[in-house]
């Protein structure tokens, strides 16, 4: 496993992706406690909320107050999500939001239509106006995300070549507008990826554009998240989204216990045990995972928070 990266950056998405379908809506104070714990555990990039329709996602309605309540720590980026121009305008107007110039693409024709009422082609038509909108705020577009990059519950398989084509076209559009694509986030939005598919798609992208920095956004819907992260690491991918305590699952009846995002502290544990530096403190991660569980008020999927740190045992048996 000599190809493993020496460091791995985990962006914590728990306060956004993790909480957005929880039945319990966390208060501003509760979210700030969670964010504070995440900072103490060493995260340097935290997605703290989203500027989307509060009627559609009531869990995120207090996002402006959450950002306003943050006392920003040096070196920490507080990220947010927006999916339309109004959302971006709100993000820009809110203190402490680290607005990145990101374009949101989707690799499933059916899903993008359901989600945004636009086709993939229509999404591309909108990219120049997005780039212009970012420009008016002085933000260079250098980043893109591809949702449903590995498959879609409404469409089935997503061929990797389609994702490569979407990246190519987005890269061209950014270049036509004087920018340069640097970052690509491949999202397994509905838990379709398996390890060989991760390696295949990441390999295709890396082979064509070795200069691009890849990130993986993994969901544990079918239990594959950690194996997919391992496949990503083996392919040299050194950036991941993760959710503290594995938040992001669906606790509703009929889906009780369904899995969420890849669990940040479990991923950090795997990295640490394999000698990959995440800059995170596992004991502090376990502590904030317990806080997350307390705040949402239900059993969460995280494993290391229950199984315990090996370092602690090593120290105990050595003394």
Residues near its own copies (CB under 8 A): 1, 4, 110, 151, 153-157, 191-192, 194-197, 199, 220-224, 226-227, 229-231, 255-259, 263, 266, 269-270, 273-275, 299-304, 306-308, 310, 313-314, 317-318
Nearer to its own copies, 130 or 192 (CB): 192
Nearer to its own copies, 97 or 190 (CB): 190
Of 8, 202, 250, 263, the active-site residue reads 250
Q: How far apart are CA 13 and CA 50, in angstroms?
A: 11
Nearer to its own copies, 58 or 252 (CB): 252
State yes or no: is 250 an active-site residue: yes
Q: In the bound complex, what is the minimum distance in angstroms from residue 26's beta carbon to its own copies?
A: 20
Nearer to its own copies, 72 or 203 (CB): 203
CA nearest 218: which of 268, 249, 262? 262
Q: In the bound complex, what is the minimum distance in angstroms from residue 211's beta carbon to its own copies?
A: 25
φ, ψ for residue 137 (rounded to 5)? -100, 10
CA nearest 108: which of 147, 64, 54? 147
Nearer to its own copies, 28 or 270 (CB): 270
CA nearest 57: which of 49, 65, 47? 49
Q: In the bound complex, what is the minimum distance in angstroms from residue 282's beta carbon to its own copies?
A: 11
φ, ψ for residue 155 (rounded to 5)? -130, -25
Contact between 12 and 46 (Cβ < 8 Å) = yes
- Beta-strand relationship, 183-188 and 141-147: parallel
Q: In the bound complex, what is the minimum distance in angstroms from residue 83's beta carbon to its own copies?
A: 24
Q: In the bound complex, what is the minimum distance in angstroms from residue 195's beta carbon to its own copies?
A: 5
Residues with a known catalytic role: 250
């Amino acid at each position: 496993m000599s190809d493993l990266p020496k460091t791995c950056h985990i962006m914590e998405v728990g306060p956004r992706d993790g909480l957005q379908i929880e039945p319990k809506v966390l208060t501003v104070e509760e979210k700030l406690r969670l964010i504070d714990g995440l900072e103490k555990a060493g995260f340097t990039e935290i997605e703290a909320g989203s500027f989307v329709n509060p009627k559609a996602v009531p869990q995120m309605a207090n996002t402006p107050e959450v950002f306003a309540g943050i006392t920003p720590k040096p070196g920490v980026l507080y990220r947010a999500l927006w999916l339309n121009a109004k959302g971006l305008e709100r993000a820009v107007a809110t203190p402490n939001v680290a607005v990145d110039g990101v374009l949101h693409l989707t690799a499933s024709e059916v899903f993008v239509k359901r989600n945004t009422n636009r086709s993939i082609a229509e999404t591309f038509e909108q990219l120049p106006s997005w780039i212009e909108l970012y420009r008016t705020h002085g933000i260079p577009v250098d980043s893109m995300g591809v949702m449903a990059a590995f498959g879609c519950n409404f469409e089935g398989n997503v061929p990797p070549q389609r994702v490569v084509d979407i990246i190519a076209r987005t890269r061209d559009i950014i270049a036509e507008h004087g920018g340069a694509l640097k970052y690509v986030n491949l999202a397994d939005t509905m838990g379709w990826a398996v390890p060989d598919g991760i390696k295949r798609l990441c390999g295709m992208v890396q082979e064509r554009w070795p200069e691009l920095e890849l990130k993986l956004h993994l969901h544990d819907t079918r239990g594959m998240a950690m194996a997919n992260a391992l496949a990503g690491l083996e392919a040299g991918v050194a950036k991941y989204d993760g959710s503290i305590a594995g938040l992001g699952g669906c606790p509703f009846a009929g889906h009780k216990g369904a899995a969420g995002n890849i669990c940040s502290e479990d991923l950090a544990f795997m990295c640490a045990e394999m000698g990959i530096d995440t800059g995170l403190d596992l004991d502090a991660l376990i502590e904030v995972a317990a806080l997350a569980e307390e705040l949402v008020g239900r059993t969460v999927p995280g494993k290391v928070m229950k199984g315990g740190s090996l370092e602690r045992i090593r120290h105990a048996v050595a003394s």
